[in-house]
Amino acid sequence: MRTYQIGILGCGVISRTYLADIQSFFKKLHIAACADVDLTLARKLAEEFHIEKAYTTEELLQDAEINIIINLTPPQFHVELNKQIIRAGKHLFSEKPFAPNVDAAKEVLQLAEEKKILVGCAPDTFLSSGLQSVRYYLDCGLIGKPFFVSANMTTFGVETWHPNPAPFYREDSGPLFDMGPYYASALVSLFGPVESVGAFSAKANETRHIFMGKNAGNDIPADHPTHYTAILRLQTGVVVSLNISFDIYQSNLPMFEIYGDGGTLSYPDPNFGGGTPKVYRKEQYTDTVFRQSEEAAARKEKFYELPELFPRVKDYSRGIGVLDLAHAIETGEKNRADGELILHVTEILQGIRESADTGTFYQMKTTCERPSALNPGGYVDRI
C-alpha cells in the first residue's frame, strides 16, 4: 500500500492519542499537517509531534497533497466540517459522534457519495485486538448460542480529567453520544444490527463541577440527561441490557458480558482497543454434579483468561480505522466503519434518546451488514 498523506483537524486532547499511535504503528499513514481554528494550538501540536505544516482549517482543506482528513473537532462542528472536508475532495475519517441524528448523517453521506469520497468514523476499537478476539471466540461457538448481553459504561463524567468539559454536556454529546458509540459499534460488530430499542433517562444533578483547566472551581449546567438505561433487541434475537452514565462514581456491574447457552464470555471495556477476554464454560458448573472434589469446586467459581489473537500495541489506541479507510481507497473494498455502519449506530443512539423522551419503544429503520472480521495472527500495520 502506498503512503497516504493525512491531515489532522482539531488539535485538542484526543489528537495526541491519534498522533502518537499513527506515528508509532501505521507507517503508511503520514501525518503531514495539523490544523485548528486556533492556529497557536496547531503550531504547538506540530512542534510537539514534528509535523511539517501547521494550518488554519481553510489552509488544510486547500492543501492538494492531503489525501485523508481526520476530523477531531468538538461534536457540534462535525456535520458542517465533514461537509467541508468532502467538498474539498478529501477522504474523511470523523471522530464520534458522526452526527446528532440520522437525517444529518444522511446529508453528509449522500454528499460523499456524490463526490465519490470514502468516509469512516470512530470508534474503531471494534477492530482492535480485544474485541476482534471476542468475535473470534463467539464465532467459534466457545459459549454456544449467545442470547443476552449486559453492557455498562458507568463513570463520573469527564470534569475530573478534561480541561474543557462543557461540550460533553450538550444534547449532541453527553454519555449517550460520547460513549454510546463504543458500545453500539461493538454490539453490531459482534452480533449484527439492532431491531428495536426501549430506554429511560435520568440526571443525578443539575450542575457539574469543573476540576481541571482554566475554569476549575466553577459549575456548569447539565441541561440534558446524564444517564440512560436501555434494552436493545437485535435482529438475531439477542437481547442487550445497556447502561450509559456520567453519574456513577464506582460500580461492580460488568462492563461487557455475553451469555450463551454454553457459557459466559467477559470483556473488560469496549472503550479500549486491548483487553483480555475471559470465559466461563457450562461444564465448570455441571461437572460438580458428577465430580465432588476440591478441584471441581474451584473450577466452578473461576473465569479463565483467553489469549488475544491480534496485536495489542497499547491498551488505548486510535488509528486502525484510518488505516482501514486507506486500505479501502487503495483496493476498492468497503471499509468496515463505512456509511451503513455509521447510519445504523447513529440511529441506535437516536432511538435510545427518542425512546427515553417519549416513553415508547423505538423501531429501527436502518440496518447494516456485520463488518467483516480481521484475520487472527496478522501484523499491527496491516488490516
The closest alpha carbon to 255, from 149, 381, 371, belongs to 149
DSSP 148-199: EEEEEEE---STTT-S--GGGGSTTSHHHHHHHHHHHHHHHHHH--EEEEEE
What pLDDT score was predicted for residue 171? Answer: 82
Instruction: Name the band, by pLDDT with cuts 50, 70 and 90, for residue 127.
Output: very high
* Average pLDDT, integer, range 84-93: 98
* pLDDT at 304 exceeding the cut of 80: yes
Non-local CB neighbours of 283 within 8 Å, separated by 6+ positions: none
What pLDDT score was predicted for residue 84? Answer: 98
* pLDDT at 316 exceeding the cut of 80: no
Measured from the Cβ of residue 3, the count of other Cβ atoms closer than 10 Å reads: 12
Report the alpha-carbon distance of residue 67 to residue 302 in Å, rounded: 50
User: Per DSSP, what are the bridge partners of residue 6?
Assistant: 31, 68
Q: How many CA atoms lie within 13 A of 107 on its CB side?
A: 13
User: Per DSSP, what are the bridge partners of residue 280?
Assistant: 264
Report the alpha-carbon distance of residue 126 to residue 371 in Å, rounded: 10
What pLDDT score was predicted for residue 170? Answer: 85
Report the alpha-carbon distance of residue 151 to residue 166 in Å, rounded: 26
Non-local CB neighbours of 93 within 8 Å, separated by 6+ positions: 68, 69, 70, 71, 119, 120, 121, 122, 321, 322, 325
What pLDDT score was predicted for residue 356? Answer: 98
In Å, how far are 106, 126, 197, 299, 307 from 131, measured between CA atoms?
28, 5, 23, 25, 12
**Rounded (5°) CA angle 183-319-42:** 115
**Is residue 354 classed as helix, strand or coil in its secondary structure?**
helix
The closest alpha carbon to 255, from 233, 278, 221, belongs to 278
Instruction: Name the band, by pLDDT with cuts 50, 70 and 90, for residue 173.
Output: confident
Instruction: Name the band, by pLDDT with cuts 50, 70 and 90, for residue 1.
Output: confident
Instruction: Name the band, by pLDDT with cuts 50, 70 and 90, for residue 185.
Output: very high
* pLDDT at 315 exceeding the cut of 80: no
Report the alpha-carbon distance of residue 138 to residue 161 in Å, rounded: 35
pLDDT tens-digit readout, 53-62: 999 999 999 9
pLDDT tens-digit readout, 62-78: 999 999 999 999 999 99
Is residue 53 within 8 Å of residue 33, measured between CB atoms?
A: yes
Which is more confident, 163 or 277? 277
What pLDDT score was predicted for residue 272? Answer: 87
Instruction: Name the band, by pLDDT with cuts 50, 70 and 90, for residue 383.
Output: confident
Instruction: Name the band, by pLDDT with cuts 50, 70 and 90, for residue 286.
Output: very high
What is the average pLDDT score of the chain? 95
Instruction: Name the band, by pLDDT with cuts 50, 70 and 90, for residue 124.
Output: very high
Instruction: Name the band, by pLDDT with cuts 50, 70 and 90, for residue 133.
Output: very high
pTM: 0.95
Report the alpha-carbon distance of residue 96 to residue 271 in Å, rounded: 12
Is the previous residue joined to 307 through a cis bond, with omega within 30 degrees of 0? no
Burial class (CB in 10 A: 0-12, 13-18, 19+), 325: buried
Would strands 68-71 and 256-260 be described as parallel, antiparallel, or unpaired? Answer: unpaired
pLDDT tens-digit readout, 10-43: 999 999 999 999 999 999 999 999 999 999 999 9
